Amino acid sequence: MQTAAPQKIYLKDYTPPAYLVDSVELTFKLAPTTTRVLSRIAFRPNPDAQSRDFFLHGEQLKLISASIDGVSITPEITATGLTHTVPNAPFVFEAEVEISPETNTALEGLYMSNGMYCTQCEAEGFRKITYYPDRPDVMSVFTVRIESDLPVLLSNGNPAAKGDGWAEWHDPWPKPAYLFALVGGDLVNHPDRFTTMSGKDVELNIWVRPGDDEQKCAFGMAALKKSMKWDEDVYGREYDLDIFNIVAVDDFNMGAMENKGLNIFNSSAVLASPETSTDANFERIEAIIAHEYFHNWTGNRITCRDWFQLCLKEGLTVFRDQQFTGDMRSHAVKRIDDAVVLRAHQFREDNGPLAHPVRPESFVEINNFYTVTVYEKGAEIIGMLKRLVGDDGYKKALDLYFDRHDGDAATIEDWLQVFEDATGRDLSQFAKWYSQAGTPRVSITDSYADGTYSLTLSQHTPATPDQDEKTPMVIPVAVGLLNDNGDEIVPTRILELTEATQTFTFDGLASKPVPSILRGFSAPVILEHDQTNAERAFLLAHDTDPFNRWDAGRTLAQDVLIQMVREDATPDTAYLDGLLALLRDDSLDPAFRALALSLPSQDDTAQALVDAGETPDPTAIYRAHEALTLHIAQHLQDTLPRIYADMMVTGPYTPDAVSAGKRSLGNRMLTLMSKLDGGKQASQQYATADNMTQQLAALASLLKIGKGADELAAFEQRWHHDRLVMDKWFGLQVSCAAPEDAAKVAAKLTEHPAFTMKNPNRFRAVFGALKGNTAGFHDPSGASYDLLADWLIKLDALNPQTTARMSTSFDTWKRYDADRQTKMKAALQRIAETPNLSRDTTEMVTRILG
């Protein structure tokens, strides 16, 4: 057990830094277990400070020497930092510390991955590199010298000088320490150039290990150039250094990191080729490259005052990367994809023990707050703001934001103030989206009389941990009205719901219309609307808003599934006929049709049952999903081969959205056909596919019907040398396993020679897939709970951040029956009681247990 309760940090306790930093000079003498870091930091008292205490963060550092203004000192050192008396005037602090990158398995600070040195400093990793005020409101200009025999030595900013065994970098833009980065390795680059809108020539590089990775940079490079252009065109922001470097590393806790001028990427988030990457991989890579690039303005030029403001950079940057993907691909499909993620993960978080506001009020470990709530709900808040103030208002506000706050460490208050100043709108009630946790429920009643249609909307947000009392939010509800023929008689308008209950009227209507509510998913809320299946089938067939058209099918599917779980019912034919009509409608985008044909996840169905006041049984939900998939396959049987054939793109693979949409619908057909043909078509697709998208989908279709053993072996044989492809091989077996086998399959894979806990991608491949196999994870034996707990306990000693993140697999424990609850709780308690459990994981399991 933890000896002392971990310290909680509160937003309300914020105080300005006691000292500011004018400049930092760092020298790194790289060595695997004995890297020396020399620092020379010019401090000056902060005129706005409330104290003169001098404290520098520092963890796991061996201090060799320190001085102030050239006079050697012996500072007082604790587990978290260093203190000493200092002059009441500007002074220079110097130190030399020793660190051990090779033994750094937490992948935070300076560490080694495949013989390459790299860093990850966000959020609080710089303090593992040297003593420093490691807080985002201390911004400074960094000059870095790296000494090493490795051929490639990189840091932030522009290259300053280099020679044999050393290189120097200078970053002219003041930045917080979390944006510091360093890379040293035997790397090759994929170079390119970009000319900015003001005519500045920028050198671009993607750095990878020599080998076949070199062939996999072209797509990422193209995505980078598109991102640079888009930010100029849409936000008027151009790049501000002579060089932009991206480095791919295999061992990385997250997807990627926006270090100034030197982005570091998980290799899975940048390397791509048709043979090794799926369409989904290509799309994710394009989005992540854009996201990290966009941080150059939203995050780096304007950063966060403190970590409670994390959504200021992440919510906004996610919103920007979503806009970008919509512009590059399809707005309708992107909106649906984002809503699926939000509902599956953010609503789940909001409904459970980990619920927290988009701007949390306290934390123990900030790494635990890089959540779907901060990110995706944070992005939704910006979407709502834009809907409320309009496109022009949004543009004015953003221009003012960049003007007013360039170079600042800003807050959510600053952000909202620019919207108020640019548009004259009072946002005091809207601001509650940042402080009130939980997903609002909006319920609908309507009536029609004498040509007037009345829509009454009521809002209610359920209690969340630490927040019992909720008050009404500002909810933009986009509504359109259709007549019985499916014609749009009232085009989309935004109703602003600000009170607990409000009625909106529409006049001059000849008959009672069919409402289409929350078009485009205009707010991150749950609609409670008692519609009949016939009304939903009507919207599925006719809604002019693509999001709501899709959503009508989704709600219908969910209702059908719930009926099937409750009473073994056969599915409503209105739904099946609706799907058939949609599938046959060749005027519809294949990607959209594929989405309309997909079912809600089993976890979504479990949540829907909880919302209906029932205790979900994952095994019964699994059976209902299987049964419905079979019913759909049978009902569409005659059409499947025709659409499948139409969707087989000929010619060389390209990852563009149109081709990917076709493959997506084709693969959906394949999954359904496999339920009927014993996997004949899937075996053939596996054998002939020239790209990973179709090969992997074929293999998945086979595994899901209990076949594919030979293909699985052949796949391993062919791809054993490629880590990223092998991650798919590991993951697929677990996600496609029958529920009763999932734990066994996962356990067996942990004995495979290529399984390693030290690589987060590999660990997540197995255990992320186990969580994703909902019925398998919740198998009544409890075997998956035990297996995951065993491995999280082992992983915590090496990598607390990834362990804490993965412990959220247990966050739904209160949903389930007494037996499952007991088993999940026991697993959580076993983790909680592990000696020397990290602060990260301790905080998470404590919160999950409640």
Q: Which stretch binds ligand BES (CB under 6 A): 251-259, 482-490, 507-515, 518-526?
A: 251-259
Asked if 235 and 320 count as a contact pair (C-beta separation under 8 A), the reply is yes
CB of 368 vs Zn ion, minimal distance in Å: 16
Asked if 451 and 489 count as a contact pair (C-beta separation under 8 A), the reply is no
Asked if 409 and 304 count as a contact pair (C-beta separation under 8 A), the reply is yes
Q: Which does 256 bind (CB under 5 to 8 A by kind): Zn ion, ligand BES, none?
A: ligand BES
Give the pair of three-digit tokens for residue 63.
């201090």
Choice between 256 and 742, CB closer to ligand BES: 256
CB of 839 vs ligand BES, minimal distance in Å: 15
Strand 475-482's sheet: what is its strand order?
488-497, 475-482, 514-517
CB of 296 vs ligand BES, minimal distance in Å: 11
Of the candidates 124, 292, 376, 843, the residue annotated as catalytic is: 292
Choice between 314 and 376, CB closer to Zn ion: 314
CB of 244 vs Zn ion, minimal distance in Å: 16
Choice between 543 and 840, CB closer to ligand BES: 840
Hey, how many other C-beta atoms are within 10 angstroms of the C-beta on 403? 9
The footprint of Zn ion (CB under 5 A) covers 314, 317
500: number of CA atoms within 13 Å, CB side?
Answer: 3
Q: Look at residues 340, 819, 398 and name the one whose alpha carbon lies nearest to residue 603.
A: 340
CB of 315 vs ligand BES, minimal distance in Å: 10
CA distances from 712 to 724, 729, 803 (A): 16, 8, 29
CB of 233 vs Zn ion, minimal distance in Å: 21
Q: How far apart are CA 428 and CA 421, in angstroms?
A: 13
Binding mask 90-109 vs ligand BES (x if CB under 6 A, - otherwise)? --------------------
Choice between 112 and 318, CB closer to Zn ion: 318
Q: How far apart are CA 505 and CA 718, in angstroms?
A: 64
Those residues with Cβ within 8 angstroms of residue 279's Cβ, 6 or more apart along the chain or in another chain: 655, 659, 660, 663, 664, 693
DSSP for residue 389: H
Q: At what angle do helices 657-677 and 692-704 cross, to 10 degrees?
A: 20
Choice between 349 and 711, CB closer to ligand BES: 349
**Sequential DSSP letters for 588-622:** S-HHHHHHHTSPPPHHHHHHHHHHTT----HHHHH
Q: Is 588 left (phi over 0), alpha (psi -120 to 50) or beta?
A: beta
CB of 269 vs ligand BES, minimal distance in Å: 7
Q: Which does 255 bind (CB under 5 to 8 A by kind): ligand BES, Zn ion, none?
A: ligand BES
Please report whether residue 254 would count as binding ligand BES according to CB under 6 A: yes
> Looking only at residues 765 through 824 of this chain, which bind ligand BES when binding is defined by CB under 6 A?
none
Which position among 25, 213, 250, 314 is part of the footprint of ligand BES (CB under 6 A)? 314
Choice between 317 and 558, CB closer to ligand BES: 317
User: Residue by residue, what is the 3-state secondary structure of 404-420?
Assistant: HHCCCEECHHHHHHHHH
Find residue 29's DSSP bridge partners.
36, 147
292 belongs to the catalytic site: yes
DSSP for residue 524: S
Q: Which does 288 bind (CB under 5 to 8 A by kind): Zn ion, ligand BES, none?
A: ligand BES
Q: How far apart are CA 495 and CA 492, in angstroms?
A: 10
Choice between 267 and 459, CB closer to ligand BES: 267
Those residues with Cβ within 8 angstroms of residue 392's Cβ, 6 or more apart along the chain or in another chain: none
Q: Which does 123 bind (CB under 5 to 8 A by kind): ligand BES, Zn ion, none?
A: ligand BES
Choice between 43 and 282, CB closer to ligand BES: 282
Please report whether residue 370 would count as binding ligand BES according to CB under 6 A: yes
Q: Which does 287 bind (CB under 5 to 8 A by kind): ligand BES, Zn ion, none?
A: ligand BES
Binding mask 267-296 vs ligand BES (x if CB under 6 A, - otherwise)? --------------------xx--xx--x-
CB of 79 vs ligand BES, minimal distance in Å: 22
The 3-state DSSP class for residue 261 equals: coil
Q: Which does 778 bind (CB under 5 to 8 A by kind): Zn ion, ligand BES, none?
A: none
Binding mask 103-142 vs ligand BES (x if CB under 6 A, - otherwise)? -------------------xx-------------------
Active site residues: 292
Q: Which residues bind ligand BES (CB under 6 A)?
A: 122-123, 254-258, 287-288, 291-292, 295, 314, 318, 321, 367, 370, 375
